[in-house]
């Protein structure tokens, strides 16, 4: 036992009975955790990776679905959009559901809903039925990530938060990279239906492991009431906001701005309601009075915008400008995930030892450096340079994603973790949607400016003949390069809140009586 654990030296930290040695004693990765926490991490990661993959794996099958169902792309696109809207809608219910029914029970229910939705999606007989089943799948998938984070954060405690959250962050960064690759491989070799059927064996294993290995989390407040008024304000507000952002670049100004304004008004109404509510609101807005939590939320928002905005541009550049297939484009994006996965365990240990306030800004600077090459895109920019830059960008993001999210929990009491998890996931989702919508609008404008005679949007150039593609390659590259300046800017903006993150070890940041200690108990 270290002196910091002895009564009389500083407040005793809540730790599992078989807690591992403190960071820095030589433990690495999962080996640094006790067997109970290792089992929890493996179970949660297995369930989480399914829902993350399904946010991107369908994108490469859109053209195939349109052909098989003989439906226009504007209709088939809702196969993706409906899933994302369902995710955003159910996230606010997570905190209440965990408190009311218990984390283990809700984790198993979420996996089961996702599994049933996947099976029904694979058996769809029309595009309308597929959209409905994707919404069902999203209802289950939307709770998987925040409940998993809540389970791990509660079990790990603040002193190991950085390392354990880094493990969960691996599928979060690899999912958007592996999704297009796996989707393209499945569509080309088997059938689009197996994009959904592949979840079934994984889901069954995840449920069995959850039943056997997850601790029996009892409801923390079985009598808690559902904030129905908040639900009627927040969930439609998020749906309208995400819908408006999804329409950016492809709808009329009214179809874009009207839902965004309406969604924003409903969300503002929810904030007012949450501050005055006599019952526990779906999102405890008071959490944002905690400087560390607010800084982590703002960093996560900007990071999500930068990450998912770049994820939209990268495959489009490879496919539209360089003429690569969807599978090849997915493979060319792999260096980002590899870079992130390699450094995430190190990022977790550094965060536990030195604090997120030192780790995250450094990662953002590295990510900015890795993005610079993409602002100078040309028609024949070497793939080696692009892969190296993307690898560097991934390293930077590996030092940002989970350390920033871990910082959100460090100065909060454990009962607040489920609610904090809900808030952070909503912030990240909205940030990713905003970044995607922003770069889509900018790209469309740049194409109309750079490509002579092109109408706004990719539709005027994506179906070009080989001769036209060669002629338009350089101006198209310039359009993508100018758009990447916005991605770089979003990454740089995240530096501002990142500088406000805790610069102390996790246990010091969580000690009562220190600056940044929990103000919400």
Looking at the fold, whether 328 and 267 belong to one and the same domain comes out as: no
Nearest by Cα to 149 from 398, 404, 343: 404
Angle (CA) 252 318 300, round 5°: 65
How high is the pLDDT of residue 453? 59
pLDDT band per the 50, 70, 90 thresholds, residue 468: low
Q: How many CA atoms lie within 13 A of 281 on its CB side?
A: 24
Q: Which of 250-264, 302-316, 426-440 has the lowest mean pLDDT?
A: 426-440
pLDDT band per the 50, 70, 90 thresholds, residue 29: very low
Looking at the fold, whether 232 and 219 belong to one and the same domain comes out as: no
Q: What dihedral do alpha carbons 186, 189, 192, 195 form, nearest 10°? A: -20
- Residue 265: give the domain boundaries: 226-279
How high is the pLDDT of residue 364? 93
pLDDT at 488 over 80: yes
Mean pLDDT of the chain: 75
Looking at the fold, whether 110 and 199 belong to one and the same domain comes out as: yes
Looking at the fold, whether 437 and 507 belong to one and the same domain comes out as: yes
Residues 6+ apart with CB under 8 A from 219: 99, 100, 101, 102
The last residue of a domain, from among 199, 224, 249: 224
- Are 166 and 28 in contact by the 8 Å Cβ rule? The answer is no
Angle (CA) 404 408 412, round 5°: 155
How high is the pLDDT of residue 9? 38
Looking at the fold, whether 301 and 169 belong to one and the same domain comes out as: no
Produce one character per residue of 359-383: b if its CB has 16 or more CB atoms within 10 Å, e if not: bbbbbbbbbbbbbebbeebeeebee
Which CATH number covers residue 387? 1.20.1250.20
Looking at the fold, whether 268 and 134 belong to one and the same domain comes out as: no
Looking at the fold, whether 98 and 216 belong to one and the same domain comes out as: yes
User: Per-residue pLDDT averaged across 95-107, rounded?
Assistant: 79
The last residue of a domain, from among 279, 299, 318: 279
- Total of domains in the chain: 3
CA distances (Å), 80 to each of 6, 158, 359, in order? 53, 36, 34
pLDDT at 306 over 60: yes
Looking at the fold, whether 239 and 204 belong to one and the same domain comes out as: no
pLDDT at 519 over 70: no
Q: Residue 50 falls within a domain, yes or no?
A: yes
Give pLDDT tens digits for 216-234. Answer: 666 655 666 777 888 888 8
Looking at the fold, whether 214 and 295 belong to one and the same domain comes out as: no
Looking at the fold, whether 360 and 503 belong to one and the same domain comes out as: yes
- Token couple for 517: 């200690």
Q: Residue 14 falls within a domain, yes or no?
A: no
Q: Residue 10 falls within a domain, yes or no?
A: no
User: Per-residue pLDDT averaged across 480-504, rounded?
Assistant: 88
């Amino acid at each position: 036992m270290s002196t910091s654990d002895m009564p009389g030296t500083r407040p005793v930290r809540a730790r599992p009975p078989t807690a591992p040695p403190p960071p820095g004693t030589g433990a690495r990765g999962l080996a640094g955790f006790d067997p109970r926490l290792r089992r929890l991490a493996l179970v949660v990661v297995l369930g989480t990776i399914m829902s993350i993959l399904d946010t991107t794996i369908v994108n490469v099958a859109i053209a195939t679905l349109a052909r098989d169902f003989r439906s226009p792309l504007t209709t088939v696109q809702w196969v993706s959009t409906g899933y994302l809207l369902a995710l955003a809608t159910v996230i606010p219910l997570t905190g209440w559901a965990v408190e009311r029914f218990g984390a283990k029970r809700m984790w198993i229910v979420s996996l089961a809903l996702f599994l049933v939705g996947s099976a029904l999606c694979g058996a769809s007989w029309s595009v309308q039925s597929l959209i409905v089943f994707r919404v069902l799948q999203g209802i289950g998938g939307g709770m998987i990530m925040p409940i998993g984070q809540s389970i791990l954060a509660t079990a790990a405690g603040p002193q190991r938060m950085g390392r354990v959250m880094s493990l969960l962050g691996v599928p979060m960064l690899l999912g958007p990279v592996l999704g297009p690759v796996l989707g393209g491989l499945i569509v080309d070799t088997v059938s689009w239906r197996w994009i959904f059927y592949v979840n079934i064996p994984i889901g069954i294993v995840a449920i069995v492991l959850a039943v056997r290995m997850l601790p029996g989390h009892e409801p923390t407040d079985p009598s808690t009431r559902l904030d129905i008024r908040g639900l009627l304000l927040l969930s439609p507000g998020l749906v309208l906001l995400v819908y408006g952002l999804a329409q950016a670049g492809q709808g009329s100004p009214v179809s874009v701005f009207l839902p965004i304004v309406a969604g924003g008004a409903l969300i503002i109404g929810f904030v007012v309601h949450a501050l005055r509510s006599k019952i526990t609101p779906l999102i405890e807005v008071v959490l944002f009075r905690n400087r560390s939590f607010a800084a982590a939320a703002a960093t996560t928002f900007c990071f999500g915008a930068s990450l998912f905005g770049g994820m939209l541009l990268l495959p489009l550049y490879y496919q539209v400008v360089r003429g690569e297939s969807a599978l090849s484009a997915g493979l060319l994006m792999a260096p980002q995930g590899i870079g992130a996965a390699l450094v995430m365990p190190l990022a977790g240990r550094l965060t536990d030892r030195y604090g997120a306030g030192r780790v995250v800004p450094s990662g953002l600077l590295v990510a900015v450096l890795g993005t610079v090459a993409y602002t100078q895109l040309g028609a024949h920019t070497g793939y080696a340079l692009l892969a190296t830059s993307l690898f560097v960008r991934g390293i930077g993001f590996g030092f940002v994603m989970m350390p920033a999210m871990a910082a959100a929990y460090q100065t909060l009491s454990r009962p607040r973790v489920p609610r904090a998890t809900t808030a952070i996931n909503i912030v990240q989702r909205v940030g990713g949607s905003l970044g995607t919508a922003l770069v889509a609008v900018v790209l469309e404008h740049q194409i109309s400016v750079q490509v002579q005679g092109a109408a706004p949007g990719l539709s005027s150039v994506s179906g070009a003949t080989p001769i036209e593609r060669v002629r338009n390659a350089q101006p198209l590259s310039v359009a993508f390069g100018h758009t990447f300046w916005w991605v770089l800017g979003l990454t740089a903006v995240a530096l501002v809140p990142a500088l406000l993150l805790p610069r102390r070890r996790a246990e010091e940041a969580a000690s009562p009586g220190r600056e940044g200690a929990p103000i919400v108990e």
